[in-house]
Chain A
């Protein structure tokens, strides 16, 4: 069966249509999809687009960045508290994370009260505390139930420094004995 293998010129449909018009493809050999394409053409003709080989000087930003007003509150929350006490459970589509609850409370307080900035931030923290969510600042040591072993709290660097100073003292005394 005759065909046209020029994929860079025109679309599949235009090539078959022209081949049929010129008589190369007989009406009996019409492809099955021809009538369907004619009845339901795609939104965009599937024409081949030449790739730009030269590096373009200007790159227009046609795809907008997605930012919301609440992102300011979210950024501050993550900076101060990290991800929050509760892990994310993404298997549920209706899951509300700690951060989201914080942001909701923040927007609510912002619309009701006249506080602003860090004061509003503190207020939101207190409000969440009253609801039962304890927010811990990032970097602060977590409070544990059992008492820690005092051995663990010894710092190795301090111990090394102590040892070095002790050995230096002992060396001095030996030096002093040696020198006449």
Chain B
């Protein structure tokens, strides 16, 4: 088991030094965080074959590996009939096998949140007054307006566009709900922002919720040419969150088009000079004021942490996690 650990550390160090020059902040996540250690403990107790089984602990272990190695393809097999390395049970015809029961429980854990409209209660995290105080409603001047943003604008006060906060509340609630569900299912989330003044904030937000960030120059083939740039079997993000959809020359960020190409849904804060058409869950709002961006970062961090905690809770409730893991 120590061999596995050793391999794990070595691989991470190697990756970090290889891309030091062409800086890629995708490998921000270091080995020393808490989560990795608990997952690595699980690795020590369970065999590798369990990675093909869809159990949730396997997903946690697999996550640790993907985050550390950025190389393992994670398979989500919900089908029954895969051999389970750890458990040895005799199956009788009349009694349903515990494997089936485990599958049902996992399926329930995964699909139960979809039944409620606001399972993670994200609408409680913010209000219209909070958005107003954070100056989210302030857009750019009339001349900078994008014609596709006109439906989201409340009006124009002395040539400055005012964004309709009622619509923003609905859109933000949908976006946070989607993010929470993706995080609940163990999806990889990538924060992107090309605004230099918020680079550090976005990176620290991603670090605090255990996800990834990319606030540097976006290389052309980052998503579209990933197997060649990062090695075969790279796992791409399942959701990309744009804190600002423009790059430094006021053009749409390449990541939006690339994510649409790679069939990755996006959540993006669209200001009055942005193009919201390709963003899956746009959030009309101010992306330039520090107060507003801090608020968005805080909200995303809270939803992701909430979703992950809920997942651990549900697993414990349905008795899916191993008894060796400490209860969270």
Contact = CB atoms under 8 A, between A and B. Distances in A.
Nearest to A65: B156
B114 A28 contact: no
B75 A28 contact: yes
Interface residues of B, number: 49
Interface in B151-199: 153-157, 161-162, 170-171, 174, 177-178, 181-182, 185-187
Contact of B186 (A4, A32, A52, A93): A32
A32 B150 CA distance: 33
A32 to B, nearest CB: 4
Contacts, number: 102
B276 to A, nearest CB: 8
Interface in B181-238: 181-182, 185-187, 224, 238
A36 interface: yes
Contacts of A7: 257, 260-261, 278
A12 B156 contact: no
Given A32-B182, A48-B278, A40 B260 contact: no
Given A3-B263, A63-B150, A66-B162, A33 B155 contact: no
B77 to A, nearest CB: 5
Contacts of B46: none
A35 interface: yes
A6, A29, A66 — which one has the most chain B CB atoms within 10 A of its CB? A66
B186 A12 contact: no
B145 interface: yes
Given A16-B263, A63-B150, A28 B278 contact: no
A65 B155 contact: yes
Given A40-B178, A42-B174, A66-B155, 17 more contacts: A15-B263, A28-B78, A28-B79, A32-B182, A32-B186, A33-B265, A35-B114, A42-B280, A42-B282, A43-B174, A46-B260, A46-B277, A46-B279, A49-B275, A62-B150, A63-B145, A63-B155
23 contacts: A3-B262, A7-B257, A7-B260, A12-B263, A12-B264, A12-B280, A13-B265, A28-B75, A28-B79, A32-B185, A33-B182, A33-B238, A33-B239, A36-B114, A36-B178, A37-B280, A39-B114, A42-B282, A46-B282, A52-B147, A63-B155, A65-B157, A93-B133
* CB-based closest 8 A-B pairs: A7-B260, A66-B155, A36-B181, A49-B277, A66-B157, A39-B114, A5-B261, A32-B187
Interface of B: 75-79, 111, 114, 117, 133, 142, 145, 147-148, 150, 153-157, 161-162, 170-171, 174, 177-178, 181-182, 185-187, 224, 238-239, 257, 260-266, 275, 277-282
